Amino acid sequence: MLLPVVVTLVALAVLLVGELREHRTTLRLAKPVASTGFVATALAAGALEGPYGRAVLAALVLSWVGDVCLLSRRQGWFLAGLVAFLLGHLAFGVAFAVHGVTAGWVTGLALALTLPAMLVRRWLAPYLPSAMRRPVDAYIVVISAMVAMAIAATIAGGTARIAIGAIMFYLSDLSVARDRYVRREASNRLWGLPLYYGAQLVLASTIAAA
């Protein structure tokens, strides 16, 4: 697993330099390479050997698609990326269910995550175009459910990396939301991208633990 992890980290470093310099060609080259690295990490961890690994792999591939879509600032491509990530979170949720969760914990955690979801939605409300309100609402619901499933899977005996990776992913998406709708600035990507790629590598590594 070491080689694809190194590839991801090196490509991430190049990606961050590209963000600082606002060099679009560097971004278009480095981002797909960094994302391919976490897919390769999952394969190296044995993703094809069981249902949990295959579900995580599907989620990572959908994330790869989302990353490529988000290279464009156009609304249509952003919506396509949002859908890809939404489906990716659903796939992660399936993976965590396959791993094993307790229904009571999932319900309780989902209720607990309702408050932060509402706070995020309220924060974004003044900035969202009307056409994006429902897609964003759906995304917030799905990612919150994914995090609830991840924590429940950890409580049920899974590695803590499942919950850690999911929470990192959730937090990284706040940087995307801020950059897209509230205020576009390099600082959003400088903390959001390492958190995102770290989350994907952590989640990919849970395949070996499973």
CB neighbourhood size of 152 (10 A): 26
How far are the Cα atoms of 94, 119, 208 from residue 114, in angstroms, in the given order?
20, 9, 31
Nearest to 86 by CA among 40, 28, 132: 132
Q: Return per-residue pLDDT of the chain as tens, 210 residues.
A: 799 999 999 999 999 999 988 888 999 999 999 999 999 999 999 999 999 999 999 999 999 999 999 998 888 999 999 999 999 999 999 999 999 999 999 999 999 999 999 999 999 999 999 999 999 999 999 999 999 999 999 999 999 999 999 999 999 999 999 999 999 998 999 999 999 999 999 999 999 988
Q: Report the alpha-carbon distance of residue 151 to residue 104 in Å, rounded.
A: 12
pTM score, two decimals?
0.95
